[in-house]
Structure 1
């Protein structure tokens, strides 16, 4: 906590200095200038509200803002969303918000941050790499959101809201080129088919060579080969009834994510890693990724006089195949061949009161079911034509989640509102199948269930028309699961985790809406937090840490210094540690491996984002120049906090130049991202079996151009 106080003093000093500069600049501006920060409407509370009137610490990025910031994939959000970090474990993306994350990416694991597209929950970590195209906005909600969002929203929620059909013709197409032979395309067309029916279709392709150019004789990894298409059809037969039918198809190929290896003999566990960030030589056969998924969805809403009924449901199918080199070196001919056939079914029915009364309420229920036929084979490819199966895992996994919820608010006066919400969840999980490990067979027949009630209590105070304060207490819950440690017959189950969160904040606009600043302070108390621990062979399992604590402060701001100048940024301070975490006991209940006092994964003490842009007006268009930079202090990618798991502090700076014609029919953007060319580690592992440290690496310096043409 002392660290937070020292950081707060430094931030306050910086804020006063920045404030003086901003006010000095305004003093020179015209007193009667009429410009303000644009209002953004969100659906974070499953109602339409202004982002500044919503008592949630959140970041919202419209489709235009995503383009302006050069965001083209999920991981890019980490550079502009306060308190958000992304790491990769092979094709699996691990999202962390305020230090809350889940390293459990196996077939029974659950993420700690709920991710949804148009209300459809995405559970598989290897399906988080959606490229962002034809987006209306992205909402990043920080803190537990279990009452309204339920399943695995302990850390927060990321909502991807795509553009929907509108009753007018629109179309656009774009193409982009860059280093690493980058070639990207996007396009969309919106058609009004009648006065009651509208359709919208969009597509995206994304290609570039592998960033790890030195992995020969194998093909370079960390490449991209992605194609996606989306279709929406809406139908509004009456003013009261609205129907939307949606489908999306996505295909990922190429080599896929890779790891870079360093021989164990070259380092000790407490050494900070040093490796060739262009990759190192890999053997044959080539790694590959073949992942296809399809989503079919129905959204319906019927408005009665004082009540609306809302339904969202659909099916998502995922066919995932991957060959992975586990040592990241040329030294081994051992690879994992992974195969998953996944089917998700989701339904949510919600009844909500109108927005016109002092007492507002929502109640509903949802149902989610996932089935997964999984086969993973660890093979020796010394003879690439006839590989030898060393380990075989063949499981059928099924998870089922059912919940009911209620959320209410009451306006006691024009300035004071109280909120109360509750949710009851039941989760069932089973895994049945066989494994063969170096000739030793085992049979698995695991099943388990968890249930939990979570709740939310809050109070909101409208200090003025432009400033609100809030305080709330929320709880979160994430279900347990099963481990699968080769060579052991037991299932090694782990229990659910629970979270209690206290938060208070102020959200406000000042100087006639030209400056916006939000502040939030929070404290998380974790019980039985799920953490990934590796044994001496480098094989990981999930265990429950006894207690952990996260305390934090967040600041984010936007300032329109003049009609042509915008300054934005954020600062996040975290003080996080395990207060009770015995990773291994011995006879008599004595703790052999104690991680108490260590930092949880992905919890940098300080992260800062700064952005500045200026519009240059010309006769036929506007040139917007933007520079933005993101800084993080060091953090760890493993609960043991060993040197080889340490992620160094880093800074990433981007420059974007965007020219848009006056009639907005075409736009040309040039960009350079990660000017420092600072490639940091995004995952860290150690294998005693293959005698190597393995690292996932971030994106190096990239640059290119993008041309967009619109028919309006």
Structure 2
């Protein structure tokens, strides 16, 4: 697929949509299927608009749809947004859109997708792992959003909008139970405060047993280190609550505020592993060639460096039952507290809006790592705050907005790589303290100017300045220390500093020949800030210039067809890899990458009782130039520093060539007895890699995953009963894959997998 193909496909889809619009007539909207008449309103451009009038490729999922599809955390959002790729590596959630994301183990590296909860900017992969609950909707914006969302939105943005208090007393709640002893209870109460506003109190609790069993657990090698005694991993016990306030003390004046607290205790999924140095897996003893699927990456005097390019060790793994690391499984505890506020005053010519948020998150516990390590965490803390002041209005049909944004993040890392097999009490191979302070300040403006009654020009710009500073303290090898917090061991401290500025912009044209058609074309830029990785090495910002065109069409009532084609020109794309846990995660800048593709989404209502959703995403994503270090099995002399290899032509990780999804909802009208809704959904995803080396053992093959549910609602619709099954195929995808080397100790391939088939029943009330 090339750029010309993308344009042809876009034009064909637009022509097809136009033909459909002329041929169809609007169906009569039944009362039992509100999807035929409801208009979806979003705030992706900082004002309320119909999603069909927003010149952005955007997917919107309502809170009710999230519940029906079993979306209870960030990872499961991808089930209802085909272009969104979300994976979870132990307690790190990783997000990518259209092949752009951050697969990082570096605690200081930023995301490539801007994630916001009611305008509060979320950046850390551990915080993204926290639960999402009591939502009004989720907006997934595809493509760089560098003008309105700023830094770290090179691939797009995800907005979580929570449910706000209503002006009447109302109660909603649901309870689910399923296999693996899955329990999910959530609900909320709206309490009106007269004519002034209202309060909403909402909460949830979820838990499930482990999805994976480990025949070698429990095992405790020393009295000093006691891992979890369970023989299972990937368990979850999470709960939290939120108090929301909405006040309208005067005309044009609105105050939204919320405080929430979430606690999570889990046994993270233990990674499956294979010893690549074992007789069955290693590259052999030859000094001139590599065996067992290994390939020569470089030569050294007296030997070659072999990498596991075409090994097949993954095929030996039972994805639901495998050996954990030799010291068992880990345990993690996370506490996150946040406060958010939005204050808006419409004084006629313009509206002044302040949006801000504070969050404090603390992580404790340990992850066990193969073959026999644990990474301890003695209270790693992240404190963030974000503030935006925005002024927007309309003058003679010209929509404009301008504002300023400030973000501050302080994070502390306190833990190390521990082995209970070194010394009577175990020893630390390394230990890190990496307190890091990040700040970003920016100013932005965007304007939409009508050129004619049908044609509008859009322009925007943003200037951002980033500062990051840290003092990395690395303790030396601590023999016989025990798994304790280190404070006075011999250490070396390195002060680090990064600063940079960036100008991003947007230019586009929107053509709206009638109320049901929008054609748009734009050029936009985005960037992700530079910084320093876990080793203290500085890396550059990444930059994306995106060219995109699309069409949004409504026909025959509320049927819609949206198509988009895009081309990305990437420079200095940041890529992260953990080659050696003793050293820490490393970040490399790819010289350049190109990504292009076409997308089409349709929402159709062929009858009063049927809703069909279709989505097709075709994409090509490869590196043009990319020199990266590589960890290799060396027969001969070992290089003093890891050598680099040319990865030009490799595919970007988490970038399937094709994603196709189809969903069907049918409402069976039972007359006075109510309705039964049958919902079926299936998604096909083509093959993709979990690493940028494109190793065979990091390749997820093409697959389908399907869900089905039946829901009964009585005529009064005050309660519902649903039976559901998710991932009918019971296929567990690769969530993480990587080859890690501890020099002189181990050469290990690791994997982690997504959940298996789940099923259960859900009871809901709403009155």
Q: Same fold, TM exceeding 0.5? A: yes
In structure 2, the residue matched to 1:494 is 539
In structure 2, the residue matched to 1:488 is none
Answer yes or no: is the 8 Å Cα contact 1:4–1:552 preserved in 2.
no
Find out whether 1:464 has 2:508 as its counterpart.
Answer: no
Which of these residues, 377, 396, 400, is aligned with residue 435 of structure 2?
396
In structure 1, the residue matched to 2:729 is 676
* Distance change (3 Å), C-alpha of 1:507 and 1:6: closer
Which of these residues, 336, 343, 360, is aligned with residue 317 of structure 1?
360
After superposition, residues 289-300 of structure 1 pair within 5 angstroms as: 289-300=332-343
SS of equivalent residue, structure 1 residue 140: strand
* Distance change (3 Å), C-alpha of 1:333 and 1:468: closer
* Distance change (3 Å), C-alpha of 1:523 and 1:153: same
After superposition, residues 393-472 of structure 1 pair within 5 angstroms as: 393-438=432-477, 441-472=491-522
Find out whether 1:548 has 2:548 as its counterpart.
Answer: no
SS of equivalent residue, structure 1 residue 236: strand
In structure 2, the residue matched to 1:623 is 676
* Distance change (3 Å), C-alpha of 1:437 and 1:32: closer
How far off is 1:470 after superposition? 0.1
Answer yes or no: is the 8 Å Cα contact 2:144–2:524 preserved in 1.
yes
Which of these residues, 697, 701, 704, is aligned with residue 757 of structure 2?
701
How far off is 1:380 after superposition? 1.6
Answer yes or no: is the 8 Å Cα contact 1:572–1:608 preserved in 2.
yes
Answer yes or no: is the 8 Å Cα contact 1:180–1:209 preserved in 2.
yes
Q: Distance in 2 between matches of 1:671 and 1:32?
A: 29
SS of equivalent residue, structure 1 residue 79: helix
Answer yes or no: is the 8 Å Cα contact 1:285–1:384 preserved in 2.
no
How far off is 1:7 after superposition? 12
How far off is 1:620 after superposition? 1.9
Where does the alignment leave 5 or more consecutive residues of structure 1 unmatched?
486-490
Q: Distance in 2 between matches of 1:7 and 1:605?
A: 17
Answer yes or no: is the 8 Å Cα contact 2:197–2:248 preserved in 1.
yes
Which of these residues, 628, 645, 650, is aligned with residue 598 of structure 1?
650
After superposition, residues 22-33 of structure 1 pair within 5 angstroms as: 33=28
Q: Distance in 1 between matches of 2:111 and 2:73?
A: 19
* Distance change (3 Å), C-alpha of 1:169 and 1:385: farther
Find out whether 1:609 has 2:661 as its counterpart.
Answer: yes
Greater RCO (CA < 8 Å, at least 6 residues apart): 2
After superposition, residues 637-676 of structure 1 pair within 5 angstroms as: 637-676=690-729
| Between 527-536 and 671-680, the greater mean CA deviation after superposition | 527-536
In structure 1, the residue matched to 2:566 is 522
Q: TM-score, normalised by structure 1?
A: 0.92
Find out whether 1:372 has 2:417 as its counterpart.
Answer: no
In structure 2, the residue matched to 1:177 is 177
How far off is 1:37 after superposition? 4.8
In structure 1, the residue matched to 2:263 is 251
How far off is 1:657 after superposition? 1.0
Q: Distance in 2 between matches of 1:32 and 1:126?
A: 47
After superposition, residues 67-216 of structure 1 pair within 5 angstroms as: 67-214=67-214, 216=217
Q: Distance in 1 between matches of 2:425 and 2:754?
A: 35
In structure 2, the residue matched to 1:710 is 766
SS of equivalent residue, structure 2 residue 65: helix
How far off is 1:430 after superposition? 0.9
Answer yes or no: is the 8 Å Cα contact 1:60–1:139 preserved in 2.
yes
In structure 2, the residue matched to 1:276 is 318
How far off is 1:10 after superposition? 13
In structure 2, the residue matched to 1:229 is 241
How far off is 1:258 after superposition? 2.9
In structure 1, the residue matched to 2:285 is none
SS of equivalent residue, structure 1 residue 147: coil
Deviations 1:217-243 (A, max 9, x none): 252111111101011112221112111
Q: Distance in 2 between matches of 1:32 and 1:110?
A: 47
Q: TM-score, normalised by structure 2?
A: 0.86
Find out whether 1:65 has 2:65 as its counterpart.
Answer: yes
* Distance change (3 Å), C-alpha of 1:696 and 1:3: farther
How far off is 1:413 after superposition? 2.0
Find out whether 1:363 has 2:402 as its counterpart.
Answer: yes
Which of these residues, 377, 396, 406, is aligned with residue 337 of structure 1?
377
Deviations 1:247-283 (A, max 9, x none): 0100110212332222223445212422111142334
| Between 197-206 and 591-600, the greater mean CA deviation after superposition | 591-600
Deviations 1:474-515 (A, max 9, x none): 000111121223xxxxx21101111100000000011233x2
Q: Distance in 2 between matches of 1:654 and 1:163?
A: 26
Deviations 1:572-596 (A, max 9, x none): 01111111112259x9xxx951000
CA RMSD of aligned residues (A): 2.8
Q: Distance in 2 between matches of 1:258 and 1:533?
A: 19
Q: Distance in 2 between matches of 1:335 and 1:408?
A: 50
Answer yes or no: is the 8 Å Cα contact 2:651–2:694 preserved in 1.
yes
* Distance change (3 Å), C-alpha of 1:207 and 1:200: same
SS of equivalent residue, structure 1 residue 76: helix
SS of equivalent residue, structure 1 residue 254: strand
* Distance change (3 Å), C-alpha of 1:132 and 1:481: same
SS of equivalent residue, structure 2 residue 367: strand
Answer yes or no: is the 8 Å Cα contact 1:338–1:377 preserved in 2.
no
| Between 4-13 and 573-582, the greater mean CA deviation after superposition | 4-13
How far off is 1:688 after superposition? 2.4
| Between 141-150 and 30-39, the greater mean CA deviation after superposition | 30-39
Q: Distance in 1 between matches of 2:12 and 2:46?
A: 35
* Distance change (3 Å), C-alpha of 1:185 and 1:111: same
Deviations 1:61-103 (A, max 9, x none): 1112222333222222212213111122221111010001012
Q: Distance in 2 between matches of 1:518 and 1:232?
A: 35
Q: Distance in 2 between matches of 1:33 and 1:295?
A: 45
* Distance change (3 Å), C-alpha of 1:39 and 1:199: same
How far off is 1:335 after superposition? 4.1
Answer yes or no: is the 8 Å Cα contact 1:320–1:341 preserved in 2.
yes
Q: Distance in 2 between matches of 1:671 and 1:546?
A: 47
SS of equivalent residue, structure 1 residue 128: helix
Answer yes or no: is the 8 Å Cα contact 1:82–1:556 preserved in 2.
no
How far off is 1:298 after superposition? 1.8
Answer yes or no: is the 8 Å Cα contact 1:337–1:379 preserved in 2.
no
How far off is 1:699 after superposition? 0.9
Q: Distance in 1 between matches of 2:689 and 2:422?
A: 38
Find out whether 1:503 has 2:548 as its counterpart.
Answer: yes
Answer yes or no: is the 8 Å Cα contact 1:337–1:378 preserved in 2.
no
In structure 1, the residue matched to 2:284 is none
| Between 317-326 and 434-443, the greater mean CA deviation after superposition | 434-443
Q: Distance in 1 between matches of 2:335 and 2:618?
A: 39
In structure 1, the residue matched to 2:533 is 483
Answer yes or no: is the 8 Å Cα contact 1:584–1:594 preserved in 2.
no
Q: Distance in 1 between matches of 2:319 and 2:588?
A: 32
SS of equivalent residue, structure 2 residue 195: coil
SS of equivalent residue, structure 2 residue 428: strand
Q: Distance in 1 between matches of 2:508 and 2:683?
A: 32
* Distance change (3 Å), C-alpha of 1:511 and 1:583: same
SS of equivalent residue, structure 2 residue 619: strand
Q: Distance in 2 between matches of 1:532 and 1:163?
A: 36
SS of equivalent residue, structure 1 residue 613: strand
How many pairs align?
693
